[in-house]
Amino acid sequence: MCGIVGYLGNRQATEVLVEGLSKLEYRGYDSAGVAINIGEELSVRKFKGRLQVLADDLTAKPINGGLGIGHTRWATHGEPSDVNSHPHFNKEKTIAVVHNGIIENYLELREELQKEGYVFLSQTDTEVVAHLVDKFYEGNLLEAVYKATEKLRGAYALGVVCKDNNNELVAVRKDSPLIVGVGEDENFIASDIPAILKYTRDVIFLENDEYVHMQGPKVTILDENKNVVEKKINEINWDIEAASKGGYDCFMTKEMYEQPKGVEDTLMRRLDEKGRIKLDDIKITKEDLEKINKVYIVACGTAYHAGLVGKYAIEKFAKIPVIADIASEFRYSDPFVDENTLIIIVSQSGETADTLAALRDAKAKGARVLSITNVVGSSIARESDDIFYTWAGPEIAVASTKAYTTQLTAFYMIALNLAMTKGSISDEEYFASIEELRKIPAQVEKVLECNELVGQIAEEIKEANDIFYLGRGVDYSLAMEGALKIKEISYVHAEAFAAGELKHGSIALIDKGTPVVAIATQGKLFEKMVSNMQEVRARGARVIAITQEGNTEVEKSADRVIYIPKVDDMFASITAVVPMQLLAYHASNIRGLDVDKPRNLAKSVTVE
Ligand code: F6R
């Protein structure tokens, strides 16, 4: 993970780097550092802790210089500490490196370098890069970086500066995200667009094995054979506001409240004048569909949970068997994937290492790859045959909310689209379903009104050490998402159970006062869910039910009921998840935790 920024221009580099890093803290936030060329010398400052520690130090003791690299870290090799923080440098501190990714052969390289007399200060994999560049440096930084990267195995986005030239920055991308920001007489590198958006909207997306050579105001992109590559400059049309808190107490709140818009944008911009779904970036024809005999949905975490709901939608509408799998399992199993398989990859960031690897494995086996992602130009988007971009806007909080609800929207649309193409749905059902989907943004808006009630519920259960989430069918997938949300930001143990499975063992965990969130949105399973609520309540559980308006019967079996507006059962997932997101938020807040930046986590998991 980690976030990197680099700057070469006429501003004070530290200002640009700290500003940029503040937009990348979602990628990691256990330490931060910068290296600035101060003319014939590099000044390196790096500290364990949040970016603010570095920012305060730089305010107290400014460093002047227009060339620098910066880093915000999510520890992989070596604990968070000042010494393990980036930038890393060679013995003489004449070359400094920031890195995002993992150098897989670093132990081997470290040993080799140690034999040659190099001394290592940190436990990181990155330090080998600094020493390798030193080893190959003979006055030409670009050449030295080429030679160093020849030795590396793994994933890396690197930014490198040298004390000898305060007008030169070298960077390279391999399997870790990196973009170039092009300004007037100034240029930038960054792990993600928000880092540079304050300064420029002109962005170059780098491919793997592309090198960046900045010399003064000039920036050149080269391929692995040192040929100059002509790159398109893309204009970013979304605003920095979209990536800042905009008056909310934290990004998670802002993003939960952006869900009506996210769902609406994702849906409405893809309906044509006749009200039909039009997916321009999905080119699957009827003939293609005739060949496809199964679908795999592959993703991690919340995106995987969206995939579980997607399975229901595709099987129901398009009548194709679907297997949903976790990317880190899929890639090391022996899945039945061939040219008759459609792989649907789901990833908010479009950069998740396991998901990307699964995509590549599936492609190598001949499968067609359709991706659902939120980040335009991300690796997953670029390597897919068909793309569905969720229009959630940038998601910064580590806990995913609007990405999830827009992924669900995407799945419903894809399922209906495949069904129409295949002819497995009647016009009547198709248009009625779209009509139901159109109602969802307003309904999400309405569900958000339960915030106060959910806040009270969070208060009532604040002493709980365990919370259980129950559901049947598609509600079981939602239960998994609810449990994940609360675990990751409130650190309360939570587990999701298929409600019918409870009595086969896990019900033994229910004790007096144990909170149980019971999701009951599916009409045909409603009575069964009510029985399950009674079962746990009889054993002392405190039941919090989530169900559709009108299901008042549930009140007899629950301590608290959160109603979501009436909608076709199939689409209730988008609204039913919202109270669980709010519950996680309140649980975290009550405990005084950092809602947006939970411990041990980072937003974008670009390491395996
Ligand atoms: C949880 C969460 C994670 C991500 C997972 C995949 O709130 O955000 O579980 O869903 O790390 O990330 P993407 O979607 O970027 O591939």
Q: What is the pLDDT of residues 169-215, one digit of tens each?
A: 999 999 888 999 999 999 999 999 999 999 999 999 999 999 999 99
Question: Does the pLDDT of residue 246 top 80, yes or no?
Answer: no
Q: Among all residues, which ones are annotated catalytic?
A: 2, 603
The pLDDT assigned to 242 comes to 67
Summarised one tens digit per residue, pLDDT across range 95-117 is: 999 999 889 899 999 999 999 99
Question: Does the pLDDT of residue 241 top 70, yes or no?
Answer: no
Class of domain 251-425: alpha beta
- Ligand 1, residues 252, 256, 305, 348: which to mutate, most atoms within 8 A of Cβ? 348
- Please, which pLDDT band fits residue 438 given cuts at 50, 70 and 90? very high
Say what the pTM is. Answer: 0.79
Cα gap 486→469, rounded to integer Å: 10
Q: Ligand 1, atom 3: nearest CA belongs to which residue?
A: 301
Portion of the chain with pLDDT greater than 90, in percent: 86
Please report the atom of ligand 1 found closest to the CA of residue 380: 16
Residues 6+ apart with CB under 8 A from 484: 301, 302, 305, 494
What mean pLDDT is predicted for residues 474-483?
98
**How many Å lie between the centroid of ligand 1 and the Cα of residue 348?**
7
C-beta of residue 278 within 8 angstroms of C-beta of residue 268: no
Picking from 278, 305, 287, 225, the residue whose alpha carbon sits closest to that of residue 496 is 305
The pLDDT assigned to 528 comes to 95
According to CATH, where is 3.40.50.10490 located in the chain? 251-425, 449-590
Residue type, 414: I
**How many Å lie between the centroid of ligand 1 and the Cα of residue 594?**
18
Residue type, 408: L
Cα gap 485→256, rounded to integer Å: 12
Residues 6+ apart with CB under 8 A from 244: none
Topology at the third CATH level for domain 449-590: Rossmann fold (3.40.50)
Phi (first) and psi of residue 570, to 5 degrees: -55, -35
Average pLDDT, the chain: 94
Which CATH code is given to the segment(s) 3-237?
3.60.20.10
For the chain, the residue count is 608
C-beta of residue 186 within 8 angstroms of C-beta of residue 8: yes
| 3-class DSSP state of 608 | coil
